[in-house]
């Protein structure tokens, strides 16, 4: 079950003490936290357990992409750490996607949600052609989202620009996890195609992944509260 508060804070740091301090500070005002490759490769499974033990749902963003048997084993391993959401690359294909969903299902009611990455937002139409994927990127995103859904996964990671199309294509129950979120008062940093939390939520985003507008603020908890207020979450 996902929390009502859609804000997941990206704890993008290799430093466990820093990640735990951010998580503690924002705990009352967010729905969860996201840990990525930088954190995992610095702190390993024990580091993930430390953050899980703080009591917030954890989205473990490791983007698995391998043969089905190996991905199934990886999903089983991270499900055992207590992650609430794990992810894989949709371009791993239908057998890999099904294997990931089945491995998570072994954990029964406490299973993590399994989400797929469609097309990395760092890739444009030319990049896709270079790796032999059929473009344009928007069509490939929708194709992979439909494949993800047909294989029994719970949703996809998508950019703000893709929310409306994917919500229409995949229906109300499909989870859309959306980074590239910037409150009007925050600096854009290196994000290019951005949307405010309110706009993204109103278009149908399930989870808003927000990093630097919160972790880079002088008072991360106050920044998270300000976003909650904009979303009219009490």
Whether residue 63 lies in the annotated active site: yes
Go through 72-99 and write b for each residue having 16 or more CB atoms within 10 A of its CB, e for each that does not. bebbeebbebbbbbbbbbbbbeeebbbb
User: Shortest Cβ distance from residue 14 to ligand C5P (Å)?
Assistant: 13
- Kindly state whether residue 212 participates in binding ligand C5P, applying the rule CB under 6 A: yes
Please give the size of the binding site for ligand C5P, defined by CB under 6 A. Answer: 14
User: Shortest Cβ distance from residue 202 to ligand C5P (Å)?
Assistant: 19
User: Shortest Cβ distance from residue 34 to ligand C5P (Å)?
Assistant: 6
Phi, psi torsion values for 182, nearest 5 degrees? -140, 115
On the 0-12 / 13-18 / 19+ scale of CB atoms within 10 A, 171 is: exposed
**Alpha helices in 151-196, H assignment, sequence order:** 163-170
Closest CA to 10 of 179, 183, 190, 225: 179
Active-site residue, from 63, 76, 98, 198: 63
- Please list every residue from 107 through 166 that binds ligand C5P, using CB under 6 A: 121, 157, 159
- Kindly state whether residue 47 participates in binding ligand C5P, applying the rule CB under 6 A: no
| DSSP, res 111 | P
Sole window of 87-95, 131-139, 199-207, 210-218 interacting with ligand C5P (rule: CB under 6 A): 210-218
Residues that bind ligand C5P (CB under 6 A): 10, 12, 36, 121, 157, 159, 179-180, 189, 191, 209-212
Query: Which residues are known catalytic residues?
Result: 63
């Amino acid at each position: 079950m996902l929390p009502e508060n859609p804000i997941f804070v990206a704890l993008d740091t290799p430093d466990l003490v820093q990640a735990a301090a951010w998580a503690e500070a924002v705990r009352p005002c967010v729905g969860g936290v996201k840990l990525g490759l930088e954190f995992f490769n610095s702190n390993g499974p024990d580091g993930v357990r430390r953050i899980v033990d703080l009591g917030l749902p954890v989205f473990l963003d490791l983007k698995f992409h391998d043969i089905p048997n190996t991905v199934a084993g990886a999903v089983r391993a991270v499900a055992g750490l207590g992650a609430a959401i794990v992810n894989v690359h949709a371009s791993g294909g239908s057998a890999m996607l099904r294997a990931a969903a089945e491995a998570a299902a072994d954990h029964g009611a406490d299973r993590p949600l399994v989400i797929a990455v469609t097309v990395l937002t760092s890739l444009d139409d030319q990049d896709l052609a270079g790796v032999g994927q059929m473009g344009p990127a928007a069509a490939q995103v929708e194709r992979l989202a439909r494949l993800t859904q047909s294989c029994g996964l719970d949703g996809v990671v998508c950019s703000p620009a893709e929310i409306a199309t994917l919500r229409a294509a995949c229906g109300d129950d499909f989870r859309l996890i959306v980074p590239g979120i910037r409150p009007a008062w925050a600096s854009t940093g290196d994000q290019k195609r951005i949307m405010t939390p309110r706009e993204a939520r109103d278009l149908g985003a399930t989870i808003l992944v927000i990093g630097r507008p919160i972790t880079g603020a002088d008072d991360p908890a106050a920044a998270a509260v300000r976003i909650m207020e904009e979303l009219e979450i009490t």
